[in-house]
Structure 1
Amino acid sequence: MRAAVMIISWLLLWMPRPAAAAALIADISSHEIEITSSFTGTSLLLFGAIDWAKDSNGQRLDARDHDIIVVVRGPATSIQVRKKTSIGGIWVNRHSAVASDMPGFYVVASTRPIHATLLPEVVAAYGLGLENIEPVWSDPPPTAESGTFRRAIDRGMAKTLLFAERPDAVTVLGETLFRTEIYFPATVPVGTYSAEIYLARNGVVVAHQTTPLSVTKIGLERAIYDFANTRPATYGLIAVVLALCAGLVAGAISRRLSS
């Protein structure tokens, strides 16, 4: 695999391109993840090459002064957060909130920690890192607890491997090639993704490329998913009927075994 990555990256590097083109070329091992009933997660290889000879302004660059940052962002979704409180020894939901327009998947991989690579204002301008994901509260939490709810989102998504920040996860091979692996867990949401690659130097971004990626269901899972989304009422009714039938069958079996 490593030999193939190096060959492809060198071919990409020496392809003719306009003088004003960015000094960064990257791709991903597959632009589509197919989810079946046996899907337990997968990793994709993101790789690329850098023309250290010039930047977008035609200036000479020094490979030792550069860093690579990779951001893989999933489709927007809504995330519900609940805060439990103990009342009389019983834990109950005290407050809840819904954050809209949140990425369903967000992973940052880099050669070094982002804040050691880019100026703070550059990090904020490009919206890099979990701290720069701003939720839109469609059902807001109490003002005094907004920070608590925001951190709970990060913890919950990180626990399911849907959010991650991985400094030192991008490997530079020599002074030209780079690579990193991005893991997608079994719970990865379906939709359109983007892999954003940034070439950083002296605290700023000197080149940037975006590569598309999609996660889709296939086979029976795709048919059920499409039916549930196009006919939600019918899907819900069928689910209720099947649950009732399963309960009746289980009850009949239990009575027969006990008689």
Structure 2
Amino acid sequence: MTATVKRRALAVVATLALAGLALAPSARAQQVVADLSRHLVGITTGFVGTEVLLFGATEGEGDVIVVVRGPDRRETVRRKARVGGIWVNTDEVAFPAAPSFYAVAASGPVGEIVSPRILWRHRIGTENLELRPVRPLDASDLAAFRDGLLRNKVRQGLYHDKPGRVTFLGNRLFRANLYFPANVPTGTYTVEVLLARQGQIVSAQTTPLLISKIGIGAEVYRFAHENSVFYGIFAIVMALAAGWIAGVIFRKG
């Protein structure tokens, strides 16, 4: 089955699921309900990135905002300066709880859906992320290191500085494609779906998504972290053996 056929089949299944959500009693009780096409993304040795389909339904009209956030990680930002004609690190700042992944999707421009105050309250948009350094900084240094962290994450494809698109199918059913790149960190992600009306958030739902290594790659990763000394020795032995074999082959040649 080709990728195009798979996407079309998934779209049909999602549409049927959307209809089921809209008719379910729980959907009528809540103002917004949503789900994912899968709750586990498995990373194998050949993983090149993937999309996860989010679909849902609203009770009445409104705009939908989706916020995807990866597990918090410690991130360090370094400042470089030219010293004696050489670029060296002159300062660094650590942010102990920065999202490892961050993306937003919306059914319209988020600045027109809700006010800046509500965007800040719900941490919608990279400019509203709460990034606290481990040590006090003055305003200019904090802004510089914060901007550096955001630039690094955007360049890596782990922060999306422009919102994706939430598409409505009629007045109530909606869907969005959530993309995760090949270098996406592992862990438990949260997918928060917000329903807005007249500039206010009136309903919300959070769904977990697990991204995990599977297969032989996961076993190697686990062994390397749980037995770092033995893994290091094994890697050195393998490198020496590979060098010796290459030397023998070249001598024979």
Q: Does the residue aligned with 1:150 lie in a helix, a strand or coil? A: helix
- Cα distance in 2 for partners of 1:242, 1:168 equals 45
- Cα distance in 2 for partners of 1:196, 1:51 equals 17
1:3/1:255 CA distance change after superposition, 3 Å: closer
Structure 2 residue aligned with 1:16: 25
Is the contact made by 2:189 and 2:208 (CA closer than 8 Å) also made in structure 1?
yes
Q: Does the residue aligned with 1:234 lie in a helix, a strand or coil? A: helix
- Cα distance in 1 for partners of 2:91, 2:22 equals 53
TM-score by length of 1: 0.84
Q: What's the Cα RMSD here? A: 2.4
Letter in 2 for 1:235: Y
Structure with the larger helix share = 2
Letter in 2 for 1:256: R
Q: Does 1:183 align with 2:179?
A: yes
- Cα distance in 2 for partners of 1:226, 1:109 equals 33
1:168/1:156 CA distance change after superposition, 3 Å: closer
Task: Give, in angstroms, the shift of residue 4 of structure 1.
Answer: 2.3
- 1:6 is aligned, of 15, 18, 26, to 15
Q: Deviations over 1:65-93 (max 9, x none)?
A: x2110011111111121221122332111
- 1:213 is aligned, of 199, 202, 209, to 209
Q: Does 1:230 align with 2:226?
A: yes
- Cα distance in 2 for partners of 1:144, 1:166 equals 25
Q: Does 1:256 align with 2:251?
A: yes
1:136/1:234 CA distance change after superposition, 3 Å: farther
Structure 2 residue aligned with 1:35: 43
Q: Kindly tell me the number of residue pairs found equivalent between the two proteins.
A: 244
1:240/1:149 CA distance change after superposition, 3 Å: farther
Is the contact made by 2:51 and 2:180 (CA closer than 8 Å) also made in structure 1?
yes
Q: Does the residue aligned with 2:26 lie in a helix, a strand or coil? A: coil
Q: Does 1:203 align with 2:199?
A: yes
Percent of aligned pairs sharing the same letter: 39
Structure 1 residue aligned with 2:6: none
- Cα distance in 1 for partners of 2:27, 2:166 equals 27
Letter in 1 for 2:116: P
Task: Give, in angstroms, the shift of residue 40 of structure 1.
Answer: 0.5
Structure 2 residue aligned with 1:80: 76
Listed as ranges, the gaps of 5+ residues in structure 2 are: 1-9
